[in-house]
């Protein structure tokens, strides 16, 4: 299905949002897709002369928000306590009146209920963004989730997420828009990466000069598919690919049982030294450049596919599960001919399919790899840039103002 698109006024010199005040509401400003997007939109608003307020309970990203032109407002909007949520209605109303807020954009359910009530009391536009899928088996939970489709505009971060919204809430009208998460192509570009950054990472990971890296960058949790990659690595070893090392870059976040399961599977296959757990990586652009292949072998649906997009921006071959929203980010057969692919899509939870795709990617010659990298970069530039995400979002704001 095609969704409504908009013009690119935000990229022009004269913006109808200049002088406007927009309030975004997120539970907290820590690491996460909703928080990062709120900061990116705040920066975009500031760039066109608007005032960008973000209400949250604070967090480590407050300084970055302020550095990019946003204004942090501390409110207890993370709370799901009904009394606190009710009081937040009045707090938000007071804030909006004091600051001249003309539109509220909510990015999470608990604060969205308070924000919706405040917007309706004040008679100003209300926007929501679905940053992921929400479980809703009971009628009470479905009602709780429904606040995210009560906006004057409802933004989904992928066509997959839009389908979930339609299925759960029956929203098929023009309010529903798809705006993919944007990637900063000034940060994620090979030209910005000095060789020293790559060498530093490889040394930290204990990678030898002759070894090629298969990178899986995700927190250590079963549905991210680390076990699938380990089993695929066992098949590669049987095929004689002794120079290939898999790097699992991500924190366990307290999942000690899963870490033990990973280590046991590595030991069972005799892959000590060939599958490495390296913890969190803070330099992902260099990590993607250090890798020969990046894989996203999720066994449960994801609402987007940030790693796949960022890896393509860096020109690194990517392999993703044909599941959830991640396939939307990668061009591959049967959607396009093999000569036009920007990566590989494989069935989920299929180590053999993953091993076969890894082999295809690893045996690419220099010209084939360069051609793939160019296609992937152009694909990301066209559909998944930060400028596009910000511009499309700001277009929605202007549309609701009648501009």
Which domain CATH number covers 176? 3.40.50.2000
CA dist list (Å): 41 to 22, 108, 393: 10, 16, 8
Distances in whole angstroms, Cα of residue 249 to Cα of each of 183, 275, 296: 20, 11, 12
Query: CA nearest 248: which of 214, 282, 271?
Result: 214
Q: Is the pLDDT of residue 271 over 60?
A: yes
pLDDT of residue 169: 87
For residue 37, the enclosing domain spans 9-182+385-400
pLDDT in tens, 50-71: 999 999 999 999 999 999 999 9
Average pLDDT over residues 33-37: 89
What angle, rounded to 10 degrees, do the helices at 306-313 and 366-383 form?
120
Are 155 and 225 part of one and the same domain?
A: no
List pLDDT tens digits, range 91-123. 999 999 999 999 999 999 999 999 999 999 999
Locus of tokens 């001249």: 100
Q: What's the order of all strands across the beta sheet hosting 51-56?
A: 70-74, 51-56, 21-25, 103-106, 126-130, 153-156, 176-178
Q: Are residues 317 and 219 in the same domain?
A: yes
Domain identity same for 142 and 222: no
The answer on 195 and 133 residing in a single domain is no
Work out the angle at residue 383's Cα, subtended by the Cα atoms of residues 381 and 387, and round it to the nearest 5 degrees.
Answer: 65
227 and 155 in one domain? no
DSSP type of residue 11 = G
pLDDT value at residue 4: 39
What's the whole-number mean pLDDT along residues 256-266?
A: 96
pLDDT average, residue stretch 277-294? 96
- The tens digit of pLDDT for each residue in 215-240 reads 999 999 999 999 999 999 999 999 99
Residue 2 lies in a domain: no
Q: Are residues 233 and 376 in the same domain?
A: yes
Same-domain pairing of 378 and 391: no
Asked if 241 and 233 count as a contact pair (C-beta separation under 8 A), the reply is no
The residue-averaged pLDDT of 17-22 equals 97
Give the pLDDT confidence score for residue 251 in this predicted structure. Answer: 87
378 and 394 in a common domain: no
- In this structure, the answer to whether residues 199 and 146 fall within a common structural domain is no
Give the model confidence (pLDDT) of 111-165 as tens digits. Answer: 999 999 999 999 999 999 998 777 777 888 889 989 999 999 999 999 999 999 9
At CA 3, angle to CA 28 and CA 138, rounded to 5? 55
* 3 confidence band (pLDDT: 50, 70, 90): very low
Q: Over range 253-267, report the average pLDDT.
A: 93
DSSP H helices, 50-108, are 62-67, 82-99
Phi and psi for 276 in degrees, rounded to 5?
-115, 130
Residue 140 maps to a domain: yes
Q: How big is the CA angle at 222 (ends 216 and 228), to the nearest 5 degrees?
A: 55
User: For residue 1, is it within any domain?
Assistant: no
Residues 172 and 256 in one domain: no
* DSSP symbol at 72: E
Q: Which SS3 state, helix, strand or coil, does residue 130 take?
A: strand
In sequence order, what are the beta bridge partners of 130?
A: 156
Residues 203 and 119 in one domain: no
Q: Is 142 helix (H, G, I), strand (E, B) or coil?
A: helix
**Per the domain annotation, does 80 fall within a domain?**
yes
Q: What is the pLDDT of residue 7?
A: 37
- Is residue 3 in a domain? no
User: What is the distance in angstroms between the CA of the first residue and the CA of the last residue of the chain?
Assistant: 26
In whole angstroms, what separates CA 149 from the centre of its chain? 20
The arithmetic mean of pLDDT across residues 285-301, rounded, is 97
Q: How many domains does the chain have?
A: 2
pLDDT-derived band at 303, boundaries 50, 70, 90:
confident
Based on the domain organization, do 27 and 162 belong to the same domain?
A: yes
Residue 4 placed within a domain: no
| Placement of tokens 């093999």 in the chain | 338
């Amino acid at each position: 299905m095609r969704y409504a698109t908009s013009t690119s006024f935000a990229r022009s010199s004269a913006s109808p949002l200049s002088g406007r005040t927009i309030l975004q509401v997120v539970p907290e400003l820590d690491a996460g897709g909703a928080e990062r997007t709120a900061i990116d939109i705040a920066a975009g608003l500031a760039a066109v002369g608007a005032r960008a307020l973000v209400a949250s309970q604070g967090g480590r990203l407050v300084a970055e928000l302020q550095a990019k032109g946003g204004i942090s407002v501390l409110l207890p909007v993370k709370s799901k306590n009904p009394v606190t949520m009710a009081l937040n209605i009045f707090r938000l109303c007071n804030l909006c009146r004091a600051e001249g807020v003309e539109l509220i954009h909510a990015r999470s359910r608990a604060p969205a209920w308070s924000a919706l009530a405040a917007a309706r009391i004040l008679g100003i536009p209300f926007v929501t963004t679905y940053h992921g899928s929400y479980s809703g088996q009971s009628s009470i939970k479905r009602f709780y989730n429904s606040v995210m489709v009560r906006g004057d505009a409802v933004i989904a971060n992928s066509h997959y997420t839009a389908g979930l919204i339609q299925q759960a809430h029956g929203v098929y009208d023009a309010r529903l828009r798809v705006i993919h998460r944007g990637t900063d192509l000034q940060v994620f570009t090979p030209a910005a990466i000095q060789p020293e950054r790559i060498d530093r990472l490889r040394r930290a990971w204990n990678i030898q000069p002759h070894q090629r890296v298969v990178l899986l960058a995700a927190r250590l949790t079963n549905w991210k598919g680390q076990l699938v990659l380990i089993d695929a690595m066992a098949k590669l070893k049987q095929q004689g690919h002794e120079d290939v090392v898999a790097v699992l870059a991500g924190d366990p976040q307290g999942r000690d049982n899963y870490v033990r399961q990973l280590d046991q599977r590595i030991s069972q296959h005799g892959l000590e030294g060939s599958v490495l757990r390296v913890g969190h990586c803070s330099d992902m652009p260099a990590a993607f450049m250090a890798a020969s292949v990046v894989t996203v072998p999720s066994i449960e649906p994801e609402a987007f596919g940030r790693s796949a997009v960022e890896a393509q921006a860096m020109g690194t071959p990517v392999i993703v599960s044909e599941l959830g929203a991640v396939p939307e980010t990668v061009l591959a057969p049967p959607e396009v001919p093999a000569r036009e692919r920007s990566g590989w899509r494989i069935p989920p939870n299929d180590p053999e399919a993953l091993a076969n795709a890894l082999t295809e990617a690893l045996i690419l010659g220099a010209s084939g790899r360069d051609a793939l990298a160019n296609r992937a970069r152009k694909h990301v530039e066209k559909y998944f840039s930060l400028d596009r995400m910000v511009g499309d979002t700001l277009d929605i704001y202007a549309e609701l103002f009648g501009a």
